[in-house]
Amino acid sequence: MFTSLFDAKPVTQVPLQTTLYRDTKQSIDARVQDLLSQMTLKEKIGQMALVEKNSIREPDDIARYHLGGLLSGAGAKPEENTPQGWKDMIDGYQERASQSRLGIPLLYGADAIHGHALVEGATVFPHAIGLGATNNPGLVKTIAYATAQDMKATGVNWNFSPNLDVPQDIRWGRVYEAFSDDPERVSVLGAAYLRGLQDGGSANNVFVLATPKHYLGLGSMVWGTSKNKNYQIDQGVTPDNAELLQSVYLPPFKEAVDAGALSIMVGLNTWGDERIIFQKDLLTTALKEDVGFKGFLVSDWYGVHEGQRHKFWATVRAINAGVDMVMLPFDYEEFVSHVTWANRLGLISDERIDDAVGRILYAKFSLGLFDEVTENKTNSASFTNHAALAQDAVAQSLVLLKNESSVLPISQTISHVRVAGSSADNVGRQMGAWSIEWQGVDGNWVPNGTSILEGIKEKAGPQTVVEYSETGDFPQGDKKAPLGIAVVGESPYAEGWGDTMHPILSDADREAIKRLQSSCDKVVVVIVSGRPLLIENEVTSFDGLVAAWLPGTEGGGVADVLFGSKPFTGTLPLPWPRRTEQLPITTEGVTSDGTPVLFPRSFGLQYE
């Protein structure tokens, strides 16, 4: 009879039978089976735990519990938030993991969703909605590879990206994390991003593990149904529409599986009347069996246990539904104990545990994690500056929505330009959230980056006077300036904290536009936002209108196009509604009240 929950012998005394699993000449399947056959129950269950690094109670727990992975939850950084600080932190964790009997390396995950943007000094690319506007899979793949290099250089071998959500309601706080509301555009760009992360390394190893998310239907929740009392639509209810499941939500994940996905993250939403995390027909039948997904399913944040009366039963239900790795922001000891008891009681079978752990190990072998340790490979990736690539991506992401009397491009010989607005000189607003901090930063204090204003000053002709006032307060002389540029938009937000009934311009920005209109002959409005904003009542007064989304650190890309050095090539990745009564909008562009939107998806003007 077992004296304790775990195996009778302390695992350190269980001798290794073979080391075939370390032989790089063996097939991955053979290596997985060899390792699995030698693992104790405790070692297997530990691999199913993905723990937030700030929740590790003591470093020895990494080996003691044989943890499968750690993550930097949004904003969880090392003391020294530099590439070296990250590498030292993660190397330390890997060293701890190597001290366990089998020395199984850790997966280390982070949300490098627009560059390795948690790290100070990183090149921050446009958020996905801006990449969606480029509709350029080659560019997206290149950006993903650049991101993967920065990640690899810091020891982060797992990216919780690409986002395959299909947003249909701009009141949601995560629209900007998605490429588009068009499942086809999401499928193509998502697969490109995944390949950029995974395929850039050596011929036979996955470079950085991608995780398409959030499975599934996360962009279609109904306003006011959130299960989180602080939110309105994020973590809400997606209607269980079988037709949309097949035509809209599943296709991007099928594309990702065909592109080589080895991990998929399950969303925090509810499907019909049950949280997705507990739905075996979606997680196992539809994805693992029907689509043939051979990788592992990881739960999102506190998704297994949030709002559950009994964490034990929630764990049993989620793992039996098909979750293979459980993200644990808080309590890993309890998780290990629960799964062990559930197995002993026959509530979670040995087969289910072996299947889950086999999928996780398959990803680890595919990444070459064991080989890096065995062959003591020093990874050659370096953390570099990608400003030129990012600036070009910004230029390609801009969408020209209005250009009365060809007010754009701005001439190099124009005498005087006045710039105003909340987002003109604010790299933090350009970056948006998931940058340095979970909710982002508002201001110019990042060590790198170019604000849109700085870009305008650099691009303007030598005799052009460029004046700036955030509020639009300029000396009211008798002469108007020929052109005003109002760079307006949203302060950073992430997840449900960005849910809003009224995605509109702020009063301050509206006032700044008005002041420019009174002190300039013509005004171009540039909107820096994570989503279309409702401007039906203001747009008629604009001479020019440009959607800039969340461009990241390289704001100079905006001036490149405003001054005509580069063309407008971007198109709307989703419809631009007039009012909230039109929401949600179907992927065919049908509004809820049947009226026409302000600008349809794929709209975008170009210079003659």
Instruction: Note the residues at the interface with ligand GLC (CB under 6 A).
Output: 73-74, 111, 160, 213, 268, 300-301
Residue 213 vs 288, nearer CB to ligand GLC: 213
Cα–Cα dist 432/443, whole Å? 11
Contact residues for 244 (Cβ-Cβ < 8 A; gap 6+) = 217, 220
Cα–Cα dist 342/589, whole Å? 47
Kind of pairing between the strands at 270-271 and 209-210: unpaired
Contact residues for 132 (Cβ-Cβ < 8 A; gap 6+) = 178, 179, 180, 185, 186, 189, 573, 574
Cα–Cα dist 526/528, whole Å? 7
Cα–Cα dist 255/261, whole Å? 9
User: What are 162's two structure tokens?
Assistant: 């690409």
Of residues 495, 538, 543, 560, which has the active-site annotation? 495
- DSSP letter string, 501-551: S-----HHHHHHHHHHHHHEEEEEEEEE-SS----TTTGGG-SEEEE----
Nearest approach in angstroms of CB 327 to ligand GLC is 7
| Locus of tokens 């190893």 | 205
Q: Which residues pair with 51 in a beta bridge?
A: 70, 328
Residue 112 vs 420, nearer CB to ligand GLC: 112
User: What are 90's two structure tokens?
Assistant: 């993660």
Residue 300 vs 392, nearer CB to ligand GLC: 300
Nearest approach in angstroms of CB 320 to ligand GLC is 23
Q: Are 507 and 441 in contact (CB under 8 A)?
A: no
Rounded to a whole number of angstroms, the distance between the first and last alpha carbons of the chain is 82
Nearest approach in angstroms of CB 218 to ligand GLC is 9
Residue 296 vs 301, nearer CB to ligand GLC: 301
Nearest approach in angstroms of CB 110 to ligand GLC is 8
DSSP label of 444: S
Nearest approach in angstroms of CB 279 to ligand GLC is 18
Q: Are 213 and 301 in contact (CB under 8 A)?
A: no
Kind of pairing between the strands at 274-275 and 270-271: antiparallel
Contact residues for 148 (Cβ-Cβ < 8 A; gap 6+) = 159, 196, 197, 198, 200, 201, 207, 208, 381
User: Rounded to an integer, what is the distance from CA 298 to the centroid of its chain?
Assistant: 15
Nearest approach in angstroms of CB 183 to ligand GLC is 19
Residue 101 vs 213, nearer CB to ligand GLC: 213
Nearest approach in angstroms of CB 132 to ligand GLC is 17
Return the number of other C-beta atoms located less than 10 Å from residue 91's C-beta: 12
Nearest approach in angstroms of CB 360 to ligand GLC is 17
Of the candidates 122, 244, 261, 239, the one whose C-alpha atom is nearest the C-alpha of residue 193 is 261
Of residues 300, 324, 392, 499, which has the active-site annotation? 300
Nearest approach in angstroms of CB 329 to ligand GLC is 8
Instruction: Return left, alpha or beta for 547; rule: phi > 0 is left, psi -120 to 50 is alpha, else beta.
Output: beta
Q: Is 271 helix (H, G, I), strand (E, B) or coil?
A: strand
Q: Which residues pair with 414 in a beta bridge?
A: none
Residue 263 vs 450, nearer CB to ligand GLC: 263
Residue 283 vs 572, nearer CB to ligand GLC: 283
Residue 298 vs 485, nearer CB to ligand GLC: 298
Residue 299 vs 450, nearer CB to ligand GLC: 299
- The C-alpha R_g of the chain, in whole angstroms, comes to 25
Nearest approach in angstroms of CB 162 to ligand GLC is 11
Kind of pairing between the strands at 69-72 and 107-110: parallel
Q: Are 417 and 191 in contact (CB under 8 A)?
A: no
> What are the C-alpha distances in Å from 331 to residues 99, 276, 363, 462?
22, 22, 24, 61
Give the containing element (helix H, strand E) for 209. strand 209-210
* Active-site residue flag, 300: yes
Residue 113 vs 259, nearer CB to ligand GLC: 113
Nearest approach in angstroms of CB 196 to ligand GLC is 18
Cα–Cα dist 210/198, whole Å? 7
Residue 266 vs 389, nearer CB to ligand GLC: 266
Classify residue 18 as exposed, middle or buried by CB count within 10 Å of its CB (0-12, 13-18, 19+).
exposed
Catalytic positions are: 300, 495
